[in-house]
Amino acid sequence: MSELIVNNFFILDFIIGFGTPAVIIILHIARKVSTFTWRMFWVGTAIGLTWEIPLSTLDGLGIVDIFSFLTHPPAHFSFIIASHSFWDGGLFLAGILIVRMVLKGEEHFTRFRSRELGILLLWGQVQELCVELLSTGNGGWSYNPAWWNPQLFHFNGRPITLLPQLIWLAAPVLFYVAALRIQKISRHP
C-alpha cells in the first residue's frame, strides 16, 4: 500500500484537492451547507492562495529554492497552487467542524471567543505538521531549510521546517476574523 501511495502521491493529492470544491459546490446547490460554510470555504481557499502563489511561483520559476520534490509532480506548478489552495479551504472548514464538535451547545463565530480561536490554532498546527510528515514520508515534497526557514527536525531523512508552521499560526487568526465578520453578514444579510 505504501508503494502505491508513493507512486501516486500527486494523483491522490490532486483528486482530493479538486474534489473538495466539487463536493462543496454540490452540497451548496443541494442546500446541504449553510451560506456561512459556503463563504468560509472560499475565504479559506483565498487565504491559502496568499502563500501557495508566492511560494510555488518563486520555487517553480527557480527564483528561490523553497522546497524539493521527492517525486516529480505530473503537472505544472500552477496546477499545484490551485489544488493546494482548495485543500487549504477544506482544511479550514475542518477547523470549523472541530470547533462545532468540541464546543457543543454554543453559537459559533458570533463574537470573539478565545476557545474558538484556540481550537483553530491548534488544528492549524496539527494538520500542517501531519501534511508535512505525509508528504515527506510518501514522496511528495519537503521544505528546504534556510535562514528564514530553519529546520525543526528530520523525518524520513528529510527536514521538517518552521515556515509552514508559522504560516498556519497566522492563517487561522485571519480566518477567524473573517469568520466573525461573515457570520454577522450571514445572520443579518
Residue 108 sits in which domain range? 2-187
| pTM greater than 0.75 | yes
- pLDDT tens for 100-148 read 999 998 789 999 999 999 999 999 999 999 999 999 988 889 999 999 9
Q: What is the pLDDT along the chain (189 residues), one digit of tens a residue?
A: 455 444 588 888 999 999 999 999 999 999 999 999 999 999 999 999 999 999 999 998 999 999 999 888 888 889 999 999 999 999 999 999 999 999 998 789 999 999 999 999 999 999 999 999 999 988 889 999 999 999 999 998 999 999 999 999 999 999 999 999 999 887 765
Residue 159's beta-bridge partner residues?
154
CA pair distance 17, 173, nearest whole angstrom: 23
Number of domains within the chain: 1
Nearest to 155 by CA among 147, 41, 164, 51: 164
